[in-house]
Amino acid sequence: MDSTSNIQPDPVDNPCITCGACCAFYRASFYWAETDAGSGTVPAALTEKLNDFRAVMLGSHPPKPRCIALLGTVGQSVGCSIYELRSSVCREFAVSWENGVHNPRCDAARIAWGLVPLPKPDHSNPNGAPDKGDSPMPHAA
């Protein structure tokens, strides 16, 4: 992506379960063989050909991208219907401040949806922003 999100089944600290902005802002494209038409896991039926090398999640094309696998309402409650099967681009998209690393693309997606960027964690505050090893987006409910 282009881009999108990951997932971490931690409903308490995971800001992605009330966001989903990146899944409705960026194009989610990846090497076509990541689909189950190749040697991968992403359901090919939920993708289309982008070019000779890459596939793209249906719905995630501009100008109004929203991945077909995104469930729920952006900014309220969301999930990825193919969480376990999602592509590398989704797995690798980091929620901002994951492991202390700022992700301006997370910020940009949230701002586009009228959400404030996630704050930098205050490590003096144990209830501050998350610092996870895996990523956002929840499983489908």
Q: What are the residues binding ligand SF4 (CB under 6 A)?
A: 4-5, 15-16, 19-23, 28, 57, 67, 69-70, 80, 82, 86, 90, 93, 95-96, 106, 109-110, 136-137
> 8 with 132: CB under 8 angstroms?
yes
Least spacing, CB of residue 59 vs ligand SF4, in Å: 8
Q: How far is the CB of 75 from ligand SF4 (least distance, A)?
A: 9
Nearest to 20 by CA among 129, 132, 84, 115: 115
* Least CB distance to ligand SF4 at residue 53 (A): 19
**Cα–Cα dist 61/50, whole Å:** 10
Nearer residue to ligand SF4 within complex by CB, 19 or 55: 19
